[in-house]
Amino acid sequence: MRLISLVKPLLVTGLLFSGAVYASPDAREVLTASPIDDIVGQYPAMMSQGIRDGLKQSGQVPPMVADTIGYVVSSSYRAEDIERKLVSDLEASMTSKQLEQVHGWYQTPVAQRIAQAEIAASAPAAWADMRSRAGALNEANKGSSREKLFDRFDRASRATESAVDTTIAVQLGLATAMAALSSNSVHYEKIQNRLDNQRPMLQGMVGQQVYDSYLFTYRDISLQEMNLYLDFLESDAGGTFTQVVTSSIQESITAPIENIGIQLARFMSFGAGESR
47-52 contacts, C-beta under 8 A, 24 or more apart:
47/73, 47/74, 47/76, 47/77, 47/253, 48/73, 48/74, 49/124, 49/127
Question: Torsion angle of alpha carbons 224, 226, 227, 230, nearest 10°?
Answer: 160
Residue 228 corresponds to which amino acid?
A: L
CA-CA distances (angstroms) from residue 163 to 63, 91, 133, 234?
A: 27, 24, 21, 19
Buried b (16+ CB within 10 A) or exposed e, 36-72: bbbbbbbbbbbbbbebbeebbeeeebbeebbebbbeb
In this prediction, residue 224 carries a pLDDT of: 97
For the chain, what are the domain ranges?
17-275
What confidence score (pLDDT) does residue 1 get?
45
- Tell me if 43 sits within 8 A of 80, measured CB to CB: no
10-residue mean pLDDT profile of the chain (276 residues): values are 34 31 76 92 81 70 75 82 95 96 97 96 90 96 97 94 81 66 60 77 88 97 97 97 93 80 65 51
Contact 77, 213 (CB under 8 A): no
pLDDT score of 104: 96
CA-wise closest residue to 64 among 74, 76, 56: 56
